[in-house]
Amino acid sequence: MKYIALGALAALGAAGTAAAQDDVTLQLKWVTQAQFAGYYVALENGYYEEAGLDVTILPGGPDIAPTQVIAGGGADVVVEWMPAALAARERGLPLVNIAQPFKSSGMQLTCWGDVGIESPDDLDNRTLGVWFFGNEYPFLSWMSQLGMATDGAAEGSVEVLRQGFNVDPLLQRQADCISTMTYNEYWQVIDAGVTPEELVNFRYEEQGVATLEDGLYVLEENLEDPAFVDKMTRFVAASMEGWKWAEENPEEAAMIVLEYDETGAQTEQHQVRMMGEVAKLTAGSNGALDPADFQRTVDTLLAGGSDPVISVDPGDAAWTHVITDAALMN
């Protein structure tokens, strides 16, 4: 997908830096935390300002869907998981991935070790906690590949518990397993007094069903505007500078995140630990989407049996290297 020559982008970038600051609104997928440290670092360290940008970062939450925000004109760019973005695209919202700061997936299923679950084959006839609002897509594809229905009605199926954004269903034994992220909910379980030895974790990466998380998405029509392309080029370049600084300075990055947490809900211990885990997921990415990772995500989502997450491979219409190619040149 190409919209403008790279030489023209370079010229636009130089002109944009000299001009007045351009406004950019970024909608996060979740609340202010180290999962988004690179953007807060870029804001705090002045990388956005140096790029001629005035960036507003909007925290997410349980009632905020990034796809709905950008569809309604509330953001220029959003952080979203690729399954949700591709599902929205197939439904008519033309989202395009312009950068992929996260190279690896942090999603996993965390189970009690004393209920007899030793492998994914043991998940049948179990109650499993799953996030919805677009976060259920990787799980549903995985279950389909295992040949396990998710209605809980038939023998060999799993019962899906619509999990809230906490770990109570596991702690209260309402579910045998729950969805966790390696950098967040897993550690909430540990902090509740459970030891790692009491748990069994199934990483989506290790099961071969990992899908891309926390990419940057914009509306396709906006990429036809050279000024918008230039603005996003500068935004991605500054954001990746923030991410690499955060990887190299995890404790300092966590402190920056805490400064921007207006709720006061986050703790220093949790954010420092989270940043250390998130750095493992952003490591190896220069911001450019790896086409092989994209195809793996698509193939996983298409393998949904009678109820696939997406029904058609969107091909390279769903992503572009135009922004990252130009950003890496600067």
Cα separation, 143 vs 161, in Å, equals 14
Q: Is the pLDDT of residue 18 over 50?
A: no
Please give the pLDDT value at position 5. Answer: 33
Cα separation, 186 vs 108, in Å, equals 9
Cβ count near 50 (within 10 Å): 14
Cα separation, 103 vs 81, in Å, equals 12
Cβ count near 14 (within 10 Å): 12
pTM, entire model: 0.89
Q: Is the pLDDT of residue 132 over 50?
A: yes
Task: Out of 4-8, 46-50, 82-86, 238-242, pick the least confident.
Answer: 4-8
Task: Out of 155-169, 200-214, 238-252, 302-316, pick the least confident.
Answer: 302-316
The residues, ordered by sequence, that sit 6+ positions from 39 with a Cβ below 8 Å of its Cβ are 26, 28, 55, 57, 239, 242
Greater confidence, 290 or 138? 290
Question: Which residue in 318, 320, 296, 305 sits closest to 87, CA to CA?
Answer: 318
Please give the pLDDT value at position 218. Answer: 98
Task: Out of 158-167, 168-177, 268-277, 296-305, pick the least confident.
Answer: 296-305
The residues, ordered by sequence, that sit 6+ positions from 2 with a Cβ below 8 Å of its Cβ are 320, 322
Sketch out the chain's domains with CATH numbers. 6-104+211-329 (3.40.190.10), 107-203 (3.40.190.10)
Please give the pLDDT value at position 306. Answer: 58
159-162 and 127-130 beta bridge pairing: parallel
Q: How much is the average pLDDT of 266-277?
A: 96
Q: Is the pLDDT of residue 8 over 60?
A: no
> Residues of the chain with pLDDT > 70: what percent?
92
Question: Which residue in 202, 176, 181 sits closest to 124, CA to CA?
Answer: 176
Q: How much is the average pLDDT of 112-118?
A: 96
57, β-bridge pairs = 26
Cα separation, 239 vs 43, in Å, equals 9
